[in-house]
Amino acid sequence: MPEIPDLENIRAVFNRRLSGLTIEQVELLQPIVVRVAREEFEGRLLGARFGQVRRLGKFLLFALETGDVLVVNAMLVGRFQHVEPGKKRHARTCFALTLSDGRELRYVDQRFMGKVYLVDAEALGTVPQLGEMGPDVLDPALTEDAFLERLRRYRGQVKNVLVNAKFIAGIGNAYMDEVLFVAGVHPFTKVSTLSEERRRGLYRAIHEVLDWAIPIVAEQMGDNTDKKPRDFLRVHRKGGEPCPSCGHPISEVSPRQRVTSFCRHCQPG
């Protein structure tokens, strides 16, 4: 799924490209992903002008000068495209907005798992999950001490806790594998067994990984917002390959159908 490095670049690209553009045509092709009626979706978007795009956790929030916000949770495989109208549409294109720059803003979702909302800016708290999230992982208010204080309330395996958006929002499966590798923590370690030093190490690893990954993704993705660079990751989906630190084979397991990649030598458990 798109995670912070992907979404941060998409947000930056759309703030360069979309701000000030007017929506001249609305085509809702797959209503299943949109959580408002077709007539409302089309009527409220038609003629609206884009403001700035924000990211909260894994949600992208497209502000409109009407006071509405187009909120998109891309889930596992949702993708955004800002392309010439002549470019062939993907069969799973959910909606296409013709803009005043002559291009189309498209949302594509191969599994129709994404969720799209259109709400008044004052009603963002009504969007499911958005109002229930913990602090965004890049929120300056989430200091190391604040992270530790929140972590004290949680039990269970460390990876499950850290990808829980109610704890902190924005990091998913792929980048959490990288965080735990940098921190040297086994993904199935119980949070309750971690020392304070190890807990602080998790916080620092989160920021180390994101500081490392965001510019790489921006370079590899460029303005092509439907790409999802992952090849540069060190352990995620690298099962059987040598660990970049110790050379031992990277382990890969899939509890509850979620791939977890780690080095048993560098992350003993």
Catalytic (active site) residue 244: no
Q: Which of 3, 42, 104, 178 is catalytic?
A: 3
Catalytic (active site) residue 144: no
Q: Which of 44, 58, 79, 115 is catalytic?
A: 58
CA distances from 102 to 17, 18, 46 (A): 12, 11, 15
Catalytic (active site) residue 3: yes
Catalytic (active site) residue 258: yes
Q: Which two tokens stand for residue 45?
A: 């978007």
Task: Give CA–CA dist 90/140, Å, rounded.
Answer: 38
Q: Which long-range contacts (CB under 8 A, 24 or more apart) does 14-20 make?
A: 14/53, 14/60, 14/62, 14/80, 14/82, 14/225, 15/52, 15/53, 17/82, 17/101, 17/223, 18/50, 18/53, 18/62, 18/82, 18/99, 18/105, 19/50, 19/51, 19/52, 19/53, 20/49, 20/50
Q: Which of 2, 5, 135, 187 is catalytic?
A: 2
Q: Which of 85, 132, 258, 268 is catalytic?
A: 258
Burial classification of residue 122, based on how many CB atoms lie within 10 Å of its CB (0-12 exposed, 13-18 middle, 19 or more buried): exposed
Q: In what order do the strands lie in the sheet with 59-64?
A: 50-56, 59-64, 68-73, 115-120
Residues marked as catalytic: 2-3, 58, 258
